Structures are given as structure tokens and as C-alpha cells.
Amino acid sequence: MGTVNIPRLDLNNYTNGSDADRKKFSDDIGRAFNETGFITVTNHGLSKSLMDELYVQVKELFVLPEAVKLKYEIPELSGQRGYTSKGKETAKGFKVPDLKEFWQIGQTVTDGDPVKDEYPENLQVTELPQFNKITTDVYQKLEAAGKMLLKAIAVYLELPEDYFDPKIHNGNSILRCLHYFPIENPDALPADAVRAGAHEDINLITLLIGASADGLEVLTRDGEWFPVTAQGEDVVVNVGDMLQRLTNNKLKSTTHRVVNPPRELMKNSRYSVPFFLHPRSDMDLTCLPSCIDAANPKHYEDTTAGEYLDERLREIGLKK
């Protein structure tokens, strides 16, 4: 297997660095997103204690009785808020649902922006007040880190640094708390049942807080699966399909998956908390003219972020 470019970048070099530091960061993130679509980031604004407490709360959530969790599953929300039970989400192109359950938290609009009317209210877990508080804090910190990363990406794309700012202000971003539940009887599983089937993310970028176990793999350009691991409290960041569309494939939304653990570890849970950074639904995803030329003609039809999200939610089974 050749070298896989998943660099470890220090966000502080962009937020507080010299002009040279900032340019290097922008070049490095652009190159990695052009080649593999993945980086890991340090100094992202979340303390180790906050991340540890988040995982404590996430585990508390999923050990609640099934009947308690199910009262937070509201079908008309298409999984965009609250609880989604086992067997509901299927990776695009797969027939067997992923082996997971999850909880989703969305945007909280506090500045009178009329976009508030587009978003359902977040569901509060009455049994776990600390869960509500911690996840809101994490959401806001990851949104701030994502905004800074998009500034660096804009510079790499030779756009104004603040190009993405109005497009993601009060955007339709989602914090997802995932539980890949224990598999008590592996022999009873369908042959192609996995924790998360091979897929690409829908959004602009995803920020993933280190999962509680190995399993995340990225598909390289050579068609080989490569394990992605973050050091300690680093955050893994990858390109989503919306950013790939906008840049006409200049930045890669890389296929990734979560594989099942070795048989002896299948009875262990795995937890993971990704933040899917989405723009506002009216963002125009028409390919940037600067990313279209004779060698790379336009690959995508014009669409908006809202139209594209709706299409993808239907494809993965969350929206009917």
C-alpha cells in the first residue's frame, strides 16, 4: 500500500499563527482533502475533560431502557432530532441496515434568524439533564472549529476567507451520538451486516471526536481500505459530498466505513460522536467556476444544499 496522506494539523497554526503558518495550514488541508479527503486536527477547542464527559453521557443515554429511548423516536422527524432505533439506517447501495442506534442534536437559533422556522426543536432527555448540557456545548465548539477549517479551505480554493461564513451561519448541522451495539450472536448476522456500510458523508465537512474503539477505515485511491486512527483527543475531519460537489471533485468526499471488530470483541459496544457540518438549506451547490476546466468538466447538476440533503435522506432510508 502506498503512502496515505492523512496529516495531523494544529488548528492553532491557523487561528493564531503568522501569515506563513496560516498559508501552510491552508495548503496542507487543501492537499490532504484533494488526495484522501481526511485529516486529524489538534487544538480544536475541546478540552479532554469535556470529551471524556461527553462519552460518559453518551453511554448513559444508550443504557436507558428501550421503552425510554423509544419515546424519543419521532418518525416525522426523519431521524434528524432525538433517537433513531436499531435497523433504521442503511448505507446507500446496501440492503442490510447498519448495526447501530443513534441520537441527533441540531441547530439552536438564538438571534431571531427566520431560518429557525425550518428546524425542529431539539429533544431534551429528561432523564439525563447533563447530557443535554454537554452535547449543546460540544455542538457549539465543533461548529466554531468547523467554521475555522472552512476559512482555511476557502483560502486554498482562492475564495474570500469568509466565503462560507454566511452559508453556515445557523446552518443545518447535526451532532450525532452513535452506539454500535454488542453483537451477542455473530453467526445469526446476515453476511454483509456491518456497523456502518461503506458510504460518503452528505454535508460540507465532518468532525469526529475520537471513537471509543477502532474500526474506522477509509478507501484509498488504490482501492484498499486503510484504518484511520486519531491520537488521544485529536478530531478526525473529512470532506462531505456537498463540498465535493461545490468543488467539482477537486476536494474528495472519500468512501469510509466502520468494520465489525474481531469476533472476540463483538460483545463490546463502540461509541462515536461525529459532527456533520451542514450549510443553510438555501446554499447554492453549483460547481465553482474556478474548479471547472477542459481537463475537469462540470460533473454535477445545479442544486441547493436542502434539495440534496432531502434526496440523500431518502436514499439511506431515514426519510420516506
Can you give the CATH number for the domain in which 91 is found?
A: 2.60.120.330
Tell me the average pLDDT of the chain.
Answer: 90
Q: Which long-range contacts (CB under 8 A, 24 or more apart) does 120-125 make?
A: 120/77, 120/80, 120/81, 121/81, 122/81, 122/82, 123/72, 123/74, 123/81, 123/82, 123/83, 125/61, 125/72
- Answer yes or no: is 225 within a domain: yes
- Answer yes or no: is 1 within a domain: no
Q: What is the CA radius of gyration of the chain?
A: 19
pLDDT tens readout for residues 118-160: 999 999 999 999 999 999 999 999 999 999 999 999 999 999 9
Between 112 and 221, the higher pLDDT residue: 112
- Answer yes or no: is 248 within a domain: yes
* CA-based nearest residue to 82, from 45, 128, 47: 128
pLDDT tens readout for residues 60-106: 999 999 999 999 999 888 889 999 998 777 777 777 777 889 999 99
Among the ranges given (14-23, 186-195, 265-274), the one the predictor scored with the smallest mean pLDDT: 186-195
- Answer yes or no: is 64 within a domain: yes
Q: How far, in Å, CA of 187 to CA of 25, rounded?
A: 47
- Answer yes or no: is 320 within a domain: no
Task: Using the predicted structure, report yes or no on whether residue 1 has a pLDDT greater than 50.
Answer: no
Q: Count structural domains, the chain.
A: 1
- Answer yes or no: is 2 within a domain: no
Helix axis angle, 129-156 to 48-62, nearest 10°: 130
pLDDT confidence of 264, banded at 50, 70, 90?
confident
- Answer yes or no: is 39 within a domain: yes
Q: What is the domain range of residue 162?
A: 8-315
Residue type, 46: L
- Answer yes or no: is 19 within a domain: yes
